[in-house]
Structure 1
Amino acid sequence: MTAHSSPVRRAAALAATVTAAVLLAACGGGNDGGGNDGSSRHDGHGTTSAAPDGRGERNAADISFARGMIPHHRQAVDMAALAATRTGSAEVKKLAAEIKRAQGPEIRTLSGWLTAWGEKVPAGTGVGEHTGHSGSGMMTPGEMEKLEKSSGEAFDTAFLTMMVEHHEGAVEMARTERSDGVYGPAKDMAGDIVTSQSAEIARMNKLLGTG
């Protein structure tokens, strides 16, 4: 009896030691040393992020960008549509067609984002229906009426002058989205707007003789 008691006690002691080590690891293994228990992931700023690149998230700046750019683009398309029958310049007609071709699809994309986010899509599709969306280079109903009533060289000068201001507003809005937004596709679109409309501003200023 005595001859076997020492190995038995050693085996029991070893088992107890292993059990204690397992329990200790279970208690401390989920801690990263910084107080995080592993129950959630953070982006380093204390906010939960399901998509590290921001492509699945949106914030107030993204919503504001979409809401503001839709009526802004609609007015640009309205202005461009007038050029088909009022301009006396092939260059102005070509530019207007390019503006319509670029901004029409963007309106649909922006509207789709707002719908998917459960947000209201701004109303207004025609000339003079943009009241309440002033600022950022938007034309007033009076300015739109003046443009609609002009033709030939007078139209070209008014159209180019107004569209430069309009584009400058869009570029400003897009730069705000680039700096404040988090939704990847919106930031990408904003970058495209800055690039394309800045180039069109330079082109229009050249046609006006001021660039």
Structure 2
Amino acid sequence: MNSKRSRIRRAAAVTAAAATALVLAACGTADDGPAGHGGHTATSPSAPAAASQGRHNAADVAFAKGMIPHHRQAVRMAGLAPGRAGSAEVRELAEDIRKAQGPEIGTLSGWLTSWGEEVPAEGAADHSAHGADGMMTAGQMDALEDSSGAAFDTAFLEMMIEHHEGAVAMARTERADGAYGPAKKMADAIIASQTAEIARMNKLLGRD
């Protein structure tokens, strides 16, 4: 009789242990599940954010394609100053322009490549399709190259003011119509820096 009760108790204990193990296993699975999904959930908000940041539209493409040749011409103009400018202030301004716009050309080109768009070729002549206002004609560039001293300084400043005004207009269009965050941020920087440089150039021309 006692042996029979012992067997019953052992069977009940085994059953209880098995039930406990099942409960613990279920709890463990439940805990692991949310933790695992929690890891994905923690990263999932960044996926839409990344997609949002990577989204671009036609205005962004037009901005990049227009600003690349625009910047290239400004860098070319600035590159003439060291050997032609009569004023140290003009040489310093030209170097500031070169340092600012050179790296932006690389950034803009990288965006176009990542979007599957063609980067404007070096020396492309017709930029009007991209709305690149303020671009100098070939004749104006030749005249600038042929000048020196005070004549170069005046021509450079007057041409660069017009050039900067075109860039600011393009940047404002990007701010209004663009969708790509980094491009809109660059547009803000262009507006701020080139507006300040326009004021600086007007002062050098005695127009302030």
Give TM-score scaled by structure 2 length. Answer: 0.74
Counterpart residue number, 1:100: 98
Partner secondary structure for residue 189 of structure 1: helix
Aligned to 2:173: 176
Greater helix share, structure number:
2
Kindly provide the CA deviation profile for residues 117-157 of structure 1, in whole angstroms up to 9, marking residues without a partner as x.
Answer: 00000012xxxx34201451000000000000000000000
Relative distance call for 1:204 and 1:190 in structure 2 (3 A) is: same
Inter-CA distance 159–59: structure 2 relative to 1 (3 Å threshold): same
Residue 185 of structure 1: aligned partner: 182
Post-superposition shift, 1:51?
A: 3.6
Change in CA separation of 1:202 and 1:178 when aligned onto 2, cut-off 3 Å: same
Seq. identity, %: 68
CA distance in 1, matches of 2:49, 2:71: 29
What's the CA shift for 1:159?
Answer: 0.1
Give 1:102 deviation, angstroms.
Answer: 0.3
Aligned-residue offset at 1:54:
4.0
Q: Which of the pair has more CA radius of gyration?
A: 2
2:119 alignment counterpart: 121
- 2:58 alignment partner in structure 1: 60
Q: Which residue of 1 aligns with 2:38?
A: none
- Per-residue CA distance 1:81-136 (angstroms, 9 max, x = gap): 00010001000000000000000000000000000000000012xxxx34201451
Structure 1 CA distance for aligned equivalents of residues 151 and 68 of structure 2: 28
**Long gaps (5+) in structure 2:** 1-46
Q: 1:130 to 1:141 in 2, by over 3 A?
A: farther
Q: CA deviation at 1:53?
A: 9.1
Instruction: State how many pairs are aligned.
Output: 159
CA RMSD of aligned residues (A): 1.6
How is 1:8-87 mapped onto 2 (pairs within 5 angstroms)?
50-51=48-49, 54-87=52-85
C-alpha displacement of 1:55: 1.6
Q: CA deviation at 1:207?
A: 0.4
Q: Which residue of 2 aligns with 1:14?
A: none
Counterpart amino acid of residue 152 in structure 1: G
- In the TM superposition, what is the alpha-carbon distance from 1:77 to its structure 2 partner? 0.1
For 2:124 and 2:137, how far apart are their aligned partners in 1?
8
Residue 53 of structure 2 aligns to a residue in which SS?
coil
**CA–CA distance in structure 2, aligned partners of residues 158 and 139 of structure 1:** 12
Gap runs ≥5 in structure 1 = 1-48
1:205 aligns with: 202
Q: Specify the SS of the correspondent of 1:55.
A: helix
Q: Which amino acid aligns with 1:65?
A: F
Amino acid at match of 1:108: G
- Asked if 1:146 is matched to 2:143, the reply is yes
Q: Give the match for residue 167 of structure 1.
A: 164
Hey, what's the Cα distance between the residues in 1 that align with 2:206 and 2:91?
17
After superposing the two structures, state which structure 1 stretch, 133-142 or 146-155, moved more: 133-142
